[in-house]
Amino acid sequence: MAQQAYMTETDNGSSGPEQPASRLRRLWHRVSRGWRGDRRIWRRGLFLATCAVLLALVMLAHAQIPNAIGNLGSLVETFLPWLGLFIPVLLVLALVRKSATALIATVLPAAVWLNLFGGLLTDKNATGGDLTVATHNVNADNPDPSRTARDVAASGADVLALEELKASQVPVYESALAPTYRYHSVVGTVGLWSKYPLSDVKAVDIRLGWKRAMRATVTAPAGRVAVYVAHLPSVRVKLEAGFTARQRDKSADALGEAIAGEPLPNVVLLGDLNGTMNDRALNAVSSQMRSTQGAVGSGFGFSWPASFPMARIDQILVRGAEPEASWTLPPTASDHLPIAARVKVTPPAG
């Protein structure tokens, strides 16, 4: 009788190809028929169920993973969204193992992942905003800096920050960006280009011994904005030392101190922070500013590496100003993707 019902359901008198819905019903029919009456479905897959629970705990309590050994906590937090890839693997293995226990346990990491990152899957971009900003690590070894400059200028950004500027290539960027941006300033290896006047330009000490951060006031039509540009030190993953990020962490603390003392109400931070907003090491900055990608935007906005983006280490953060939209720009000759955001400047009090 079961075979007769199956033939009626899938063929339905039609000689055409089997439809996807019919294939799913056929798969479920086989699975449920094989599982019915099998009491072992609750005893099988205990190891898979344990793995599912552990995965959920790692995502839920990632902030409790210690950094004492190889900065393991920061490493996990850098690639935290990718832990979700283990969920469908566990689901498939639970089905193959015919384990109801493992299937139910897989719901736990799925729920935790959706709670952490589900909001990034929807488009929260709005049409408002009165200042468009962009940032790009152009790569010191960029083979075509002129083309890169023209590409990011085409984004329509009112304010553009560039990081990893090689001294010999600065004139190339200045020449290529001059038609679009009337004002600019370069401090060390970072630079700021603006359609609006710049003032109070100065280097920001992030405890490196050389200049990789700056601050300037942009006098935009909607009001004055303090714009910080920063390129925090790189991090490495080494077998003998783990996630080496000590210098990055010290620089992040120094940057956070500088921003905390900023008197202007509207503050924008643009740059390559070599860390994600999940990484606790950036708390000195992220605790007092909002990520435009987290508040608005669509998707994860991964920016590095450009060939296969796996993490958003390039950031646009705001304080006072309200984020309205955030997006990733097309690739250039750099190993990073440029990112942009549109913000609404908070009018001065009174």
Judge contact between 123 and 319, C-beta under 8 A.
no
Which CATH fold would you assign to the domain 131-344? Deoxyribonuclease I; Chain A (3.60.10)
What is the distance between the alpha carbons of residues 163 and 334, in angstroms, rounded to a whole number? Answer: 11
The number of angstroms, rounded, from the C-alpha of 66 to the middle of its chain's C-alpha atoms is 22
**pLDDT at residue 19, as a whole number:** 65
Q: Quick one: DSSP state of residue 41?
A: G
Encode the chain (350 residues) as per-residue pLDDT tens digits. 444 444 444 444 444 555 666 765 665 565 555 555 556 677 788 999 999 999 999 999 999 999 877 788 888 999 999 999 999 999 999 999 888 899 999 999 999 999 999 999 999 999 999 999 999 999 999 999 999 999 999 999 999 999 999 999 999 999 999 999 999 999 999 999 999 999 999 999 999 989 999 999 999 999 999 999 999 998 876 544 446 678 999 999 999 999 999 999 999 999 999 999 999 999 999 999 999 998 999 899 999 999 999 999 999 999 999 999 999 999 999 999 999 999 999 987 76
The number of angstroms, rounded, from the C-alpha of 313 to the middle of its chain's C-alpha atoms is 6
What is the distance between the alpha carbons of residues 72 and 78, in angstroms, rounded to a whole number? Answer: 10
What is the distance between the alpha carbons of residues 315 and 285, in angstroms, rounded to a whole number? Answer: 11
**pLDDT at residue 235, as a whole number:** 83
**pLDDT at residue 20, as a whole number:** 60
What is the distance between the alpha carbons of residues 120 and 299, in angstroms, rounded to a whole number? Answer: 5
**pLDDT at residue 29, as a whole number:** 62
Of 166, 167, 316, 345, the C-alpha closest to 228 is 316
Extended beta strands in the chain, E state: 131-137, 159-163, 183-187, 190-194, 198-203, 213-220, 223-231, 236-238, 242-244, 267-272, 290-291, 314-319, 322-328, 339-344
Judge contact between 67 and 73, C-beta under 8 A.
yes
Q: Quick one: DSSP state of residue 311?
A: B
